């Protein structure tokens, strides 16, 4: 069992890193496609810069550790996009033991995942977030999802984004949830990415899932992989749809305000951000999701 779990952890970690490489390559190629009459003609295409970090540990404490790699591109189409891949392990401190499944009696954990937030320069292109992860305590499970935050929602974008995740859900639905993966995970996303203090949704949704362990690890991993692939393929196609659209100063203003709401959600409500900051995660990596510029005029 231990050997099998170890090989699964290794496989999940390798996948997250491979997915990161594929997405970064795809985004970089878009940077080069924006040419000619577009708003980016005068600007230089961006490329990702990587920075690795290690989890600070006490000298000689081999039970805690790990780290990650932040990949950030400050480009012309992607004004700021960050992709974090991290694999960390250790012991949960007291306050988390009761909250995390399987951590009550044995606080040891291992976690690996990819998380991405994209802030395009154009206010006509949607902000996007994607994250998938595998967590191991005395239990083990997958979680993740993706959601889209347009400043000005476009039906085709919303339809394509949901369609891609719906397909991944339907291909891998094990029947574990009575209502079906897509309805369940779509509703979960709407519920999670909501700003109660503004009485507004963060965007047009997507899917969100957590604690997924159907008893069939291969099926859960294959689903998680296809969630990543769905995002890898659909978001670039949405970005390309708007590649040659010009925008106005007013639209840019509206974008800065929408980005302000994004900041509010991430700093006030997002569990991942809170969890990361409270468990001594890497602040730069955790807050890489924040927009390059935001406004509260």
Among 244, 256, 272, 275, binds a second copy (CB under 8 A): 256
Q: Which is nearer to a second copy, 163 or 280 (CB)?
A: 280
Report residue 34: phi and psi, to 5°: -85, 100
Q: Whole-number minimum distance, CB 4 to a second copy, in Å?
A: 37
Q: Is 153 in the site for a second copy (CB under 8 A)?
A: no
Q: Which is nearer to a second copy, 72 or 207 (CB)?
A: 72
Among 93, 99, 248, 283, binds a second copy (CB under 8 A): 283
Site for a second copy in 67-86 (CB under 8 A): 74, 80
CB atoms under 10 Å from CB of 20, counted, come to: 22
- Contact predicate 285/53, CB 8 Å: yes
Q: Residues with Cβ < 8 Å from 288, sequence gap 6 or more?
A: 70, 72, 82, 84, 117
Stretch in the footprint of a second copy (CB under 8 A) among 3-11, 49-57, 238-246, 280-288 = 280-288
The answer to whether residue 129 is catalytic is: yes
d(CA 102, CA 45): 46
Binding residues with a second copy: total (CB under 8 A) = 22
Q: Whole-number minimum distance, CB 54 to a second copy, in Å?
A: 17
Token couple for 44: 């230089």
Q: Is 156 in the site for a second copy (CB under 8 A)?
A: no
Query: 172 in helix, strand or coil?
Result: helix
Q: Is 39 in the site for a second copy (CB under 8 A)?
A: no
Alpha carbon of 109 to those of 113, 138, 152: distances in Å? 13, 8, 41
Site for a second copy in 188-217 (CB under 8 A): 197-198
Stretch in the footprint of a second copy (CB under 8 A) among 4-12, 33-41, 162-170, 257-265 = 257-265
CB atoms under 10 Å from CB of 157, counted, come to: 24
Stretch in the footprint of a second copy (CB under 8 A) among 61-69, 146-154, 184-192, 258-266 = 258-266
Let me know if 39 is exposed, middle or buried by CB neighbors in 10 A (0-12, 13-18, 19+): middle
Q: Residues with Cβ < 8 Å from 60, sequence gap 6 or more?
A: none
Active site residues: 129
Interface positions with a second copy (CB under 8 A): 74, 80, 197-198, 256, 260, 263-264, 267-268, 277, 283, 286-287, 290-297
């Amino acid at each position: 069992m231990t050997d099998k779990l170890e090989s699964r952890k290794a496989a999940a970690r390798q996948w997250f890193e491979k997915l990161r490489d594929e997405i970064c390559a795809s985004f970089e190629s878009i940077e080069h496609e924006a040419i000619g009459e577009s708003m980016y003609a005068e600007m230089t295409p961006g490329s990702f810069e990587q920075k690795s970090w290690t989890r600070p540990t006490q000298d000689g404490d081999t039970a805690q550790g790990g780290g990650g790699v932040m990949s950030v591109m400050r480009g012309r189409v992607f004004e700021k996009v960050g992709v974090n891949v991290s694999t960390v392990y250790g012991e949960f401190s007291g306050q988390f033991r009761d909250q995390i499944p399987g951590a009550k009696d044995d606080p040891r954990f291992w976690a690996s995942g990819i998380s991405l937030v994209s802030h395009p320069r154009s206010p006509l292109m949607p902000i996007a977030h994607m994250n998938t992860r595998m967590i191991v305590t005395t239990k083990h499970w997958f979680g993740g999802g993706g959601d889209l935050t347009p400043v000005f929602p476009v039906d085709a974008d919303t339809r394509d984004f949901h369609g891609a995740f719906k397909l991944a859900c339907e291909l891998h639905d094990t029947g574990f949830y009575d209502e079906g993966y897509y309805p369940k995970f779509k509703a979960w996303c709407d519920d999670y990415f909501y700003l109660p203090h503004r009485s507004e949704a963060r965007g047009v949704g997507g899917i969100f899932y957590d604690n997924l362990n159907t008893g069939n690890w291969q099926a859960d991993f294959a689903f998680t992989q296809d969630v990543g692939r769905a995002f890898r393929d659909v978001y670039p196609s949405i970005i390309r749809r708007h590649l040659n659209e010009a925008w106005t100063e007013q639209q840019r203003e509206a974008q800065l305000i929408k980005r302000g709401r994004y900041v509010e959600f991430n700093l006030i409500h997002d569990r991942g951000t809170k969890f990361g900051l409270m468990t001594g995660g890497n602040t730069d990596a955790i807050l890489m999701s924040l927009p390059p510029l935001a406004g509260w005029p």
